[in-house]
Structure 1
Amino acid sequence: MKKLFMIASLVLASVGIGFAQTTPAAPAKAKTEKTAKPAAGPTKKDGTPDMRYKANKDAGAKAAPAGPTKKDGTPDMRYKANKDSKAKKS
C-alpha cells in the first residue's frame, strides 16, 4: 500500500510540474506601420529606402554640422553650435 501511494504521488507531482512549465501564449502585437520618406531609388519590402543603392545614399545624405568637426567628420560636441543643432533635431 505504501508503494502504491508513493507511485501515485510521484505521478501527480510530475503531472503538476509538467503543467506548471507551460507558458501561456503571448497576445499578438499589432503590426506598426513605418512612415518612410519616398525613396529616390529602390526600396525594401517595408518601404524604407534601400541604402545599398547610390541613388538612395545621395538622397539620404545628412547636412553638414553647424560647427567644427572632428577628424572623422562627426560634429565636435565640445562646441555650442553643434550642441544646439542636436537639440533642434530632437
Structure 2
Amino acid sequence: MKKILSALMALVLFTSVTFAQSATKTAAKAKTKVTAAADTAKHYKKDGTLDKRFNSSKASPTTTAKHLKKDGTLDKRFKENKSK
C-alpha cells in the first residue's frame, strides 16, 4: 500500500511540475509577440517571433549600433554614443 501511495504522489508531483513549466513558456511567448502597426511588413513564425530568414524582419545596423549599459543609458566608451 505504501508503494502505491508513493507512486501516486510522485505521479501527481511530476504532473504539476509539467503543467507549471508549460504555463510559463506560453506566457513568455505571449510577451514576444509584436502588435505594432509598423511591423506589418515583417514576417513572423508560428510562435509569434520574427522570422530572421527575410530581410524585412532583420534589424537594421543603425538600430543595433548603439551600445547600452545594464541600466539602459548610453555607453560613452563607444564613438557613436559620444556627444559631439
Whether these two folds match at TM > 0.5 is: no
Of structures 1 and 2, the larger Rg is shown by 1
Which of the two has greater helix per residue? 2
Using the size of structure 2 for normalisation, the TM-score is 0.40
